[in-house]
Amino acid sequence: MSPDARVHFHDELRRVEEQALGGLDLVVAQLDRVLEALEHQDVELAAMVVLNDDLVDGRYLEVHQAVLSLLALQAPVATDLRTVAALLHVIKHVERMGDQCVNIAKLIPLSGHEPPVRGEVLQRLLHMGRSARSEVTQAKTAFATRDVALAEDLVRQDRAINRVNREIFQIAIDIGTDPDTREWAMHMVMCARALERVGDNAVDIGEQTAFVVTGLFREFSDATHPV
């Protein structure tokens, strides 16, 4: 590859990376909307989250195509190849996180106009959402700066999210016999699961950061151990 071609390639690679990481900003915006909709039982805002998923999906398609073009036309090697491969994973996780926001948004209207909200569940759920948002922004920073320590720290936050997820599940089990309350609680368990998956995807992006830097892929946490 000539010097001019290499400069062009690196410019294009930087552009594609910015596009991919910008997808995480779209996810953060979706999280903010869906958490507000959840807190205030705002069905219209929830519907907006569903519609705006087209932006996330569009970003996925743009980055995916651009990455494939880089692979086909430039034949990158070494660190560049790792970065290109990692970006394919990053944008897929972006798309999945967007889908989890949509899953939450679609549950909100099912709870009815004045659902039997239990504060101890809702507050834990909103706490999970804020933690997941923090994970997404940290995953973006870690990848952009190639900060492996910051990427590994995502596991600590993710374990906290997992603990709250289990708390919500236990509360839902013990919530009582009223059918409407139980139904609402089951919807909230599903919302909690969706937020837990957002955190998992953020950790996965952190793992891609370590792969780009070290050339070795490793999972940050052992799935056989309790979280």
We report the CATH number of the domain holding residue 133 as 1.20.58.220
With 60 as the cut, is the pLDDT of residue 224 above it?
Answer: no
Higher pLDDT, 112 or 31: 31
Q: Domain residues for 162?
A: 3-214
pLDDT tens for 125-149 read 999 999 999 999 999 999 999 999 9
Q: What's the pLDDT at 223?
A: 47
pLDDT tens for 69-98 read 988 877 788 889 999 999 999 999 999 999
With 90 as the cut, is the pLDDT of residue 5 above it?
Answer: no
> Is 219 among the domain residues?
no
User: What does the H/E/C string look like for the chain?
Assistant: CCHHHHHHHHHHHHHHHHHHHHHHHHHHHHHHHHHHHHHHCCHHHHHHHHHHHHHHHHHHHHHHHHHHHHHHHHCCCHHHHHHHHHHHHHHHHHHHHHHHHHHHHHHCHHHCCCCCCCHHHHHHHHHHHHHHHHHHHHHHHHHHHCCHHHHHCHHHHHHHHHHHHHHHHHHHHCCCCCHHHHHHHHHHHHHHHHHHHHHHHHHHHHHHHHHHHHCCCCCCCCCCCCC
> Is 226 among the domain residues?
no
> Is 221 among the domain residues?
no
> Is 209 among the domain residues?
yes
